[in-house]
Copies of this chain bind each other. A is one copy, B any other.
Amino acid sequence: MTAITQIWDSLTDEFSNLEVITEPSQVAKLSLDYFHFSPILEAQLKDKRALLVVRPTTEAEVIQVAKTCVKYQVPLTIRGAGTGNYGQCIPLEGGVVLDTTKMNQIRWIKPGTACVEPGVKMASFDKKAREIGWELRMAPSTYRTATIGGFIGGGSVGMGSINYGQLRDRGNLNALRVITLEDDPQVIELRGDDVQKVNHAYGTNGIITELEIPLAPAYPWAELIVIFDDFLTAAKFGQALSDSDGIVKKMVSIHAWPIPSYFTALQHYLPSGKSCALLMICEYDLEAFSDLVHEYKGEITYNKTATEASKGTSILEFTWNHTTLHARSVDSNLTYLQTFYFSLERVEQMYHYFADEVMIHLEFLKFGGKPIPAGLQLVRFTTEERLKEIIRYHEEHGAGIANPHTYIMEDGGRKVIDPIQLAFKQKVDPNGLMNPGKMRAWLKR
């Protein structure tokens, strides 16, 4: 305890000019994320705590934090809004959590491109960007609270992915500025392909202090719900809409009954027994869209213009992992998986094979140019062993699972160790202080 007390004293002393949070309930809150969607992670992570949280406001302050952590060899974990689901920002070995939310300046927004600090919130960014006709290319369902830096550090897809694919796809992140964890921290600027050294690295590879991001043209996105008698028709409709090159859309989210029953606030639009599509469609293309709905014998039960949609709760907040949030608020035994089905045939097979145990929730996205069904299916959790069996069955039948029940970066979506990220880590964090325990490549080196 003496060592901890000494470090505590040293850190609070070194950080005396910074905003430091030490109040235990605040530290607890800022040490966690939405890991509890997973019963496996819940058990592993719920007690993890930072020693303290520091909230720098400038790059100079970030450098000061970096230097101090190296000086005292204290672990450093970077955090945005903490809306991740795999403990990306949970400090396994305590130490300092650096909360980026006060680094929230938009440096500039130009047509097609913007430069921001990591703590800029996505929805508030879009509000500014839309003034000149642009918006983020993609964003998670936690759009209102999530930070841009957090999404790059721990996210991978979201609304907009039906157009732009994954964050890791070339062109979806222009440049990053990162601070190293060296005795004398350096500022490194990464551009083009080099951004992959830090993209989706859970904050293990330097502290991002600035991001240059590409934008998308801001259409007026109508929000719609379409209902279908059966799930497989809804899924086929989702694929057809995704494949319709003449209909501009931003989100295609399909839910097998009984998932719609969990969307309490939308019950008026979701009759019992029906599967549904939650959609964001360009207002200019609604006539063509309604012809497609007609072809698939769907029924539009909810249709808000972009202006109307901007006033209430966005339909976005029932999709992606917000679906899981709503479902778990009704039944806390539910958990989820993240799956690249790649084809409707595989969706159909899994739908029949698992029946009610795995309720299918699809999110369509572009994968190497093609729209594919991915999903965050809801799983009725029984045991860890059974969950592993379900994952194994999917993988043995050609689906790709980005396992959300592990906090190890490579065991989630990536699967393989990335030698480029490892080499970069050796350079920028030679002592392995950044978010220790998350990068298998580093643990196994």
Contacts and interface: CB of A to CB of B under 8 A. Distances in A.
The interface residues of chain A, by DSSP majority, are classed as mixed
A395 interface: no
Contacts of A282: 112
Interface stretch (A81-89, A162-170, A261-269): A162-170
A292 B170 CA distance: 8
Nearest to A243: B369
A371 interface: yes
A244 B164 CA distance: 8
Interface in A338-371: 366, 368-371
Interface string A166-191: 10011110100000000000000001
B291 A163 contact: no
A242 interface: yes
Contact of A246 (B214, B247, B289, B371): B214
A113 B284 contact: yes
A242 to B, nearest CB: 6
A59 interface: no
Contacts of A288: 170-171, 174, 192
Q: Which of A242, A285, A371 has the most CB of B within 10 A?
A: A285
Interface of A: 111-113, 133, 137, 163-166, 169-172, 174, 191-193, 214-215, 217, 219, 242-248, 282-285, 287-292, 366, 368-371
Given A170-B244, A242-B369, A369-B371, 13 more contacts: A164-B245, A169-B245, A170-B246, A171-B247, A191-B287, A214-B284, A217-B217, A243-B368, A243-B369, A244-B369, A245-B366, A369-B370, A370-B370
